[in-house]
Amino acid sequence: MKTVFRSIAIASVASVAFMAPAHADEKADIAKATADYSYVQGFLIANRLKGSLAKDKIDNKAFATGVNDALTSKSKFTEEQMKKIITAGPVHLRAEKEKKKMENTAYLAAHKKKDGVKTTASGLMYSIIKSGPADGKSPSASDTVIVHYTGTLTNGKKFDSSVDRGSPATFPVNRVIPGWTEVLQLMKPGDKWAVVIPSDLGYGARGAGGLIGPNEILRFDVELIEIKK
């Protein structure tokens, strides 16, 4: 009987001895699978952001630290500090913004001195190319108008033109950029004006797609054809 119990005990010890390495391998496999999955998740998230991060010239090491701090719920900055940093934008873009601001200021100052240019309280500038009937009525913000126009940047690059399309545009006066809303309410049917719209009355810092960059001054030849009834 003792021999039988001894054989069982030996078998049990042997079984445990063989199971231990298998258990360690299983843990190693789980750890590797978790690491692989975590890596791929990080890779895919970063890959989706890659274009934006490259545009902002992100410091990869600092970015990785920020991600890790977010995952561990800690931060080297307060929420208010982070808002200010994000609002200020990437360092290389701050210099570009300042340069653009100086260029815009110089352009508007020079244009303002040209003969026939009138400047409104908002900074909008216009000069008259031709005038419609003097007894015409200006549209209100709630009116819909029909206009022909050609838009260019200060470097002369054309970005839009109803004239080139051969068909005038129709839209509500209050559904366009602020500079358009303002100037249309000063015009009368038959008027054609050359208009210069400062960036804050146009598309501002956001720009408009790939054609109009951030903080661009816009130039338009605008002809008010009709106030739609």
Q: Which of 160, 171, 200, 221 is catalytic?
A: 160
Concatenate the DSSP letters of all residues of 106-158 into one string.
HHHHHHHTSTT-EE-TTS-EEEEEE---TT--PPPTT-EEEEEEEEEETTS-E
Residues 169 and 138 in one domain: yes
Most confident of 12-21, 50-59, 208-217: 208-217
- Please state, rounded to an integer, the average pLDDT across all residues of the chain: 88
Per the structure, the count of domains in the chain is 2
Q: Which of 56, 143, 177, 200 is catalytic?
A: 177
- What distance in Å separates the CA atoms of residue 175 and residue 135, rounded to the nearest whole number? 26
- What distance in Å separates the CA atoms of residue 62 and residue 65, rounded to the nearest whole number? 5
Instruction: Give the model's pLDDT for residue 22.
Output: 52
Q: Is 160 a catalytic residue?
A: yes
- What distance in Å separates the CA atoms of residue 212 and residue 203, rounded to the nearest whole number? 8
Q: Which of 126, 191, 197, 203 is catalytic?
A: 203
Q: Is 146 a catalytic residue?
A: no
Hey, how many other C-beta atoms are within 10 angstroms of the C-beta on 201? 21
Q: Is 149 a catalytic residue?
A: yes
Q: Is 177 a catalytic residue?
A: yes
pLDDT digits (tens, 9 = 90+) for 62-117: 888 998 899 898 899 999 999 988 887 777 777 788 889 999 999 999 999 999 99
Which whole-number Å values give the CA distances from 62 to 68, 69, 145, in the listed order? 10, 10, 52
Nearest to 224 by CA among 116, 118, 131: 131
In this structure, of 43-57, 126-140, 209-223, the range with the lowest mean pLDDT score is: 43-57
Nearest to 199 by CA among 117, 86, 112, 97: 97
Q: Is 126 a catalytic residue?
A: no
Position 5 pLDDT exceeds 50: no
Residues 131 and 43 in one domain: no
Instruction: Give the model's pLDDT for residue 205.
Output: 86
Domain end marker among 65, 88, 111: 88
Position 9 pLDDT exceeds 60: no
> What is the mean pLDDT of the segment spanning 149-165?
97
> What is the mean pLDDT of the segment spanning 35-41?
90
Residues 25 and 131 in one domain: no
Q: Is 220 a catalytic residue?
A: yes
Domain residues for the domain of 12 are 2-88
